[in-house]
Amino acid sequence: MTDAHADDEGAAWATDVRAALLAWYDLSARDLPWRRTRDPYAVWVSEVMLQQTRVDTVIPYYERFMARFPTPERLAAAPEDDVLGMWSGLGYYRRARMLHRGAREVVARYGGEVPREPEDRRALPGVGRYTAGAIGSIAFDRPEPLVDGNVARVLARLRAIDTPLGRGDTERALWADAAALVRGERPGALNQALMELGALVCTKTAPRCDRCPVASRCEALRLGRGGELPVPRARRPPRRVELVAVRLGRPGEVWLTRGEGALFGGLWGLPTVERGPGERPVDAAARALGDHGGVALDPAPCGTIEHALTHCRLRVTAFSASAASAASPPAGDRRARFVRLDALAEVGVSALTQKLLALTAARPGPTAAGEAPRRHGGSRTPAGER
């Protein structure tokens, strides 16, 4: 086949697939809250929330978030705790912090208007090629391609791309096909049609080729390879991490610290440390409490929890401790505080913290009869020992 012939074939393929996708999308698109607007900020918020998260889960979060922070200015002006609180339970909290930083930059540099130029959008914190393409095509009607997991699956099957996802040559081929398709009218609808096809028809485990609008142009279907494509990316086995967490309570309250590092990323949670090699869990628990004074640590663990993150599996052993009612955080420490149990929803706590709070709820501290508290640090008398 000559280059010119191949170009003609490619153009004809793109024209056919575009037309079929748009016609199907007009009939089949789900009515989702973020599809009722073309406000670039709303598109941005929805696309960030939808990363790694199911549509059904996102809908109530999106609606609450937009009601509370309807503009970049409102989001930029909010304290980070408020933003993380609204994100609480949605996971992948780095997304929320980057969105918050992005909104601040939009206000500071662009007067609160999400920039139209793709290079400016991609320079915003947390905005990669995918999110920039979603905002550009959906909100600004620009022919900017995007490739997410759904689109990669659809395109890999349509074109029978049989190199592993995530590899350079695969990514280049996927983005080139996405760019070829998005050229033309209604680029935002076209991109959303590709994503919708991946979500509803060309699904991961059971593609419904008999209901597919682009079946006649699908190379994987022609070759009988729909079930084996795309070739998944090579993954390393997840790292196992042993943690110890302590619920330090006093009546009606629990002590929370703001986590640092990739695992905890600025969220409020129980004092938690990684167990050292050969370290006894109870010693790690005492270490987690640091130099907090007036604390009685129950040496018997409350239990353990397994929790999976993207790149690691956590095994967390939980302890409980009680604090004297007069105990207070060190003066000026903004990374630790007692939080009322009925106000937990207002601070950003992770799903892991929620699980740990549930696990330790029955034993909020060594105050029950018969428990032998282990004195830890400080000189105040723990409530449970009086």
The footprint of ligand SF4 (CB under 6 A) covers: 154, 157-158, 201-202, 207-209, 212, 214-215, 218, 220-221, 226
Rounded Cα distance, 224 and 217, in Å: 13
Rounded Cα–Cα distance for residues 8 and 18 (Å) = 15
Rank residues 214 and 295 by Cβ distance to ligand SF4 and give the closer one: 214
CB of 151 to ligand SF4, least distance (A): 11
Residue placing its CB nearer to ligand SF4 in the complex, 49 or 215: 215
SS (H, E, C) 70-113: CCHHHHHHCCHHHHHHHHCCCCCCHHHHHHHHHHHHHHHHHCCC
- Number of neighbours of residue 188 by Cβ within 10 angstroms: 24
Cα 65 to chain centroid distance, Å, stands at 15
CA–CA gap between residue 143 and residue 14 (Å, rounded):
14
Nearer to ligand SF4, 59 or 209 (CB): 209
Please identify, using beta-carbon distances, which residue of 114 and 220 lies nearer to ligand SF4. 220
DSSP single-letter state for residue 157: H
Q: How far is the CB of 202 from ligand SF4 (least distance, A)?
A: 3
CA 49 – CA 352 distance, rounded (Å): 19
Minimum CB distance to ligand SF4 smaller for 49 or for 212:
212
Torsion sign over Cα 153, 158, 161, 167 = negative
Provide the minimum distance between the beta carbon of 193 and ligand SF4 in the complex, in angstroms, as a whole number: 12
Residue with tokens 């590092």: 261
CB atoms within 10 A of CB 340: 10
Q: Helices 3-28 and 187-200: crossing angle, nearest 10°?
A: 80
Largest CA distance in the chain: 90
> Which amino acid would we find at residue 87?
W
Query: Least distance (Å) from ligand SF4 to the CB of residue 17?
Result: 9
Q: Which of 27, 46, 28 is nearest to 36 (CA)?
A: 46
Nearer to ligand SF4, 84 or 201 (CB): 201
* Nearest distance in Å: CB 210, ligand SF4: 8
Separation between Cα atoms, residue 282 and residue 300, nearest integer Å: 8
Helices (H), 224-350: 261-264, 281-289
Helix (H), strand (E) at residue 334: none
Question: Which residue type, as a one-letter code, is found at position 157?
Answer: R
What's the closest the beta carbon of residue 182 comes to ligand SF4, in angstroms? 17
- Kindly state the smallest distance separating residue 248's Cβ from ligand SF4, in Å: 53
Nearer Cβ to ligand SF4, position 123 or 199? 199
Round to whole Å and give the CA distance between 343 and 73. 26
- Give how far Cα 92 sits from Cα of 49, 76, 81, Å: 9, 20, 15
Q: Is residue 73 annotated as a catalytic residue, yes or no?
A: no
Selected catalytic residue, list 47, 105, 196, 253:
47
Which residue numbers are catalytic?
47
